[in-house]
């Protein structure tokens, strides 16, 4: 098994407790916190038979590397997921073909180009999980990796959404095209809006960091560029908010198609 890592916060630890309690080494909690949320959490830990350890705020902060732990932290083993993007896509294609046509789900992938803030990445993963995204892709350079802060903000989604950091993002987008996945990038200058795009087929939605946006090479690699309509004074949305707008528009279109 892998070396234990730390999760903290009620959501992140709670999702792991619900989905894979056997992977939890031990859970630390602040005994001075006796509110209903903590009591319910401890009841669930006891039901799962996971070891509980009293820990004061200072110990928790040291364990988590900060003060946003909410009085809860856990040492856990990493859950084995698919090892590569190729493996995930092949699994998707196999399961897709095995289902009747009316039950098939086209791939929906989120690509983040240059998102370096762990809070933004965590929020994007949370949105991706909610929208049923199959994978999130980011470049290895100039992008945030999964850490305790990301896991906390993601509220458990860092455990459920495959996150692949690739060496060459443009090349990876090219490989997605070879699998007939349509690459749609977001750009403030695009003439077509998100709501004019067909998001019902196999799609990878590409978003850049707020401010800088996508890199030029990434934008050139896209099959289509769309904009999110902005009617107020601000010029752009936070990347996690923009991800939510785009992914849930895809979800809406797909739901209508199968209805």
Q: What is the pLDDT of residues 72-108, one digit of tens each?
A: 999 998 776 667 888 888 877 776 554 455 545 789 9
* pTM for the model: 0.72
Measured CA to CA, the distance from residue 123 to residue 119 in angstroms comes to 6
CATH of domain 85-258: 3.40.1280.10
pLDDT given at position 30? 94
Kindly report, residue by residue over 124-148, the tens digit of the pLDDT: 999 999 999 999 999 998 888 888 8
Which element (helix H / strand E) includes 190?
none
Q: Of 3.10.20.90, 3.40.50.2300, 3.30.1330.30, 1.20.1270.10, which CATH number belongs to 5-76? A: 3.30.1330.30
- Please check whether the two domains, 5-76 and 85-258, share a CATH topology: no
3-state helix, strand, coil in the chain (%, to 5): 45, 20, 35
Kindly report, residue by residue over 224-251, the tens digit of the pLDDT: 999 999 988 888 899 999 999 999 999 9
Q: Where are the domains of the chain?
A: 5-76, 85-258
Q: Provide CB contacts within 8 A for 258, sequence distance 6+.
A: 102
pLDDT given at position 81? 64
């Amino acid at each position: 098994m892998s070396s234990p890592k730390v999760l903290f916060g009620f959501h992140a630890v709670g999702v792991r407790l619900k989905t894979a309690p056997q992977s939890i080494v031990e859970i630390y909690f602040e005994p001075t916190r006796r509110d209903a949320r903590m009591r319910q959490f401890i009841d669930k830990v006891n039901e799962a038979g996971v070891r509980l350890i009293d820990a004061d705020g200072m110990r928790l902060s040291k364990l988590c590397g900060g003060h946003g732990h909410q009085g809860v932290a856990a040492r856990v083993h990493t859950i084995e997921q698919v090892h590569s993007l190729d493996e995930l896509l092949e699994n998707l294609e196999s399961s897709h073909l095995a289902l009747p046509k009316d039950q098939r789900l086209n791939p929906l992938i989120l690509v983040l180009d240059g998102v370096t803030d762990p809070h933004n990445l965590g929020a994007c993963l949370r949105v991706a999980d909610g929208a049923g995204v199959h994978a999130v892709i980011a470049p290895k350079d100039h992008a945030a990796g999964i850490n305790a802060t990301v896991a906390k903000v993601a509220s458990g989604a860092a455990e459920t959404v495959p996150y692949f950091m690739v060496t060459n993002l443009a090349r990876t987008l090219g490989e997605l095209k070879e699998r007939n996945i349509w690459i749609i990038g977001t750009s403030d200058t695009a003439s077509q809006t998100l709501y004019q795009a067909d998001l019902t087929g196999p799609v990878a939605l590409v978003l850049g960091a707020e401010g800088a946006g996508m890199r030029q090479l990434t934008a050139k690699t896209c099959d289509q560029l769309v904009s999110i309509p902005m009617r107020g004074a601000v010029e752009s949305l936070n990347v996690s908010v923009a991800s939510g707008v785009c992914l849930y528009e895809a979800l809406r279109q797909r739901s209508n198609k199968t209805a």
